[in-house]
Amino acid sequence: MTEIKTLTPRDAFELLLAGNQRFVAGTPEHPNQDATGRVEIAPSQQPFAGCSAVPTPGWPPRSSSTAA
């Protein structure tokens, strides 16, 4: 069983920042997660929903679905 570590807000931010820096630098932590891999799998993707959120009070998150 995998141990779940409780993160402080600072720890969580540091992990997110490190991941963002790896993404921008093109140095993924796991194989097949680079730009070439994303381009290769993009044609087979068929997303049916999306969710976006804005960190501004008064603007609720919205989700949409294109599934019929």
For the chain (68 residues), the mean pLDDT of every run of 10, in chain order, is 81 91 86 80 84 65 53
Would you list the DSSP string of the chain? -PPPPPPPHHHHHHHHHHHHHHHHHT--SSTT-SHHHHHHHGGG----EEEE--SSTT---EEEE---
CA dihedral of 35, 37, 43, 46, whole degrees rounded to 10 = -90
- Quick one: pLDDT at residue 60? 61
Which pTM was predicted? 0.48
Per-residue model confidence (pLDDT) at position 54: 64
**pLDDT number for residue 10:** 93
What is the maximal distance between C-alpha atoms in the chain?
42
Amino acid at 25: A
Residue 56 is predicted with a pLDDT of 66
